[in-house]
């Protein structure tokens, strides 16, 4: 399938693996790229620019296809060594960066000078327009269904994607609720040039996470996610567990007095314990409503091939068959 996204990134299928903390390691990124999609190493999971450089080399050993690095710009007091991470990306020969979080404008000149394409994650049309204005090459439009941070506007993809299509001139992919061939065809119909999948890629054989995490996603329905940190205007969609129930109880009891320190036990530093150790109640972890559409744990190649075959059948048989000739 040829779209503006496949042409921009030099990939076979318009499917991107989103950046995910303690999930986006070289194994998964290489598997996605080898299957014709665009794999992503999660930059800040690597504790230093040197560690990221090593992970990029490791990925390069596993694939000769294009892959990218996700770099989230956090509003923190002690900022990560972003110049070092950018240098590792450029020196590692990576040609795609997925930016997220704060405005990436100050980093764009160095990336573009090195011929790196930048796709920025946005949860609203106004942010997507800003990303276009500052020179991003593409955007990932994240609907309210998505795992992780859906923003504060609560607009689902059935509205958000066509709105983005009305005003953007750069290509965009749909993120949030994407799992199969139906998702891909729907996204294309609504104006996107491809899809970005996060949660669906966790439930694959190559995802380097504990089996408990994969099993939890398969067992979950579309009703099993919760929104946390809404009072702090840092909303995150997570899979419900004991820690999330505790967190929500604190939010309810403390109301407007809630501070980040009150919930730090449930949200800070929990990813290694969940993703690597499989301690499922250790804290809150990002998961999309799309868990309700995930029923198996295939290899990445089987998943991507299946998505493309489903999409082909929907477009070439079902939809074309509905037209009166």
Which stretches does DSSP call E strand in the chain? Answer: 15-17, 39-42, 67-73, 96-101, 117-122, 138-142, 172-175, 195-197, 225-228, 236-239
Q: Do you know the residue count of the chain? A: 325
**What is the token pair recorded at 242?**
């004991």
Task: Classify domain 4-209 by CATH number.
Answer: 3.20.20.70
- Residue 298: its pLDDT value, please? 98
- 148 pLDDT exceeds 90? yes
User: Minimal CA–CA distance to 168: which of 206, 133, 204, 211?
Assistant: 133
Instruction: Please indicate, yes or no, whether the overall pTM of this predicted structure exceeds 0.75.
Output: yes
User: Minimal CA–CA distance to 99: which of 127, 118, 78, 80?
Assistant: 118
- Tell me which DSSP letter residue 148 carries: B
- Residue 291: its pLDDT value, please? 98
Which stretches does DSSP call E strand in 65-194? Answer: 67-73, 96-101, 117-122, 138-142, 172-175
- 74 pLDDT exceeds 90? no
- Integer Cα distance of 19 and 70 in angstroms: 5
User: Minimal CA–CA distance to 134: which of 113, 120, 123, 114?
Assistant: 120
- 201 pLDDT exceeds 90? yes
């Amino acid at each position: 399938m040829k779209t503006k996204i496949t042409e921009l990134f030099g990939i076979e299928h318009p499917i991107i693996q989103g950046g995910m903390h303690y999930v986006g390691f070289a194994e998964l990124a290489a598997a996605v790229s080898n299957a014709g999609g665009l794999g992503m190493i999660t930059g800040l999971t690597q504790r230093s620019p040197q560690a990221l450089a090593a992970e990029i080399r490791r990925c390069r050993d596993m694939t000769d296809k294009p892959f990218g690095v996700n770099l989230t710009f956090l509003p923190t007091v002690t900022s990560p060594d972003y110049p070092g991470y950018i240098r590792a990306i450029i020196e590692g020969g990576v040609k795609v960066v997925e930016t997220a979080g704060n405005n990436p404008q100050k980093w764009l000149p160095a990336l573009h000078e090195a011929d790196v394409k930048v796709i920025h994650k946005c949860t609203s049309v106004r942010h997507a327009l800003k990303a276009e204005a500052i020179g991003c090459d593409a955007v990932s439009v994240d609907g309210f269904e998505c795992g992780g941070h859906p923003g504060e506007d609560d607009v689902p993809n059935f509205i958000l994607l066509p709105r983005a299509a009305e005003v953007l001139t750069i290509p965009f992919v749909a993120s949030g609720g994407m799992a199969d061939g139906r998702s891909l065809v729907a996204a294309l119909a609504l104006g996107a040039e491809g899809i970005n999948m996060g949660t669906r890629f966790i439930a694959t054989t190559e995802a380097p996470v504990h089996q408990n995490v994969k099993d939890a996603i398969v067992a979950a329905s579309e009703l099993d996610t919760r929104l946390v940190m809404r009072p702090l205007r840092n909303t995150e969609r997570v899979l419900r567990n004991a820690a999330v129930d505790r967190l929500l109880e604190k939010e309810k009891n403390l109301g407007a007095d809630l501070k980040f320190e009150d919930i730090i036990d449930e949200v800070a530093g929990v990813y290694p314990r969940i993703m690597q150790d499989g301690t499922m109640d250790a804290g809150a972890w990002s998961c999309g409503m799309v868990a309700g559409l995930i029923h198996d744990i295939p290899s990445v190649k089987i998943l991507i091939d299946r998505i493309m075959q489903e999409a082909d059948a929907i477009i070439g048989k079902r939809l074309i068959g509905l037209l009166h000739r």
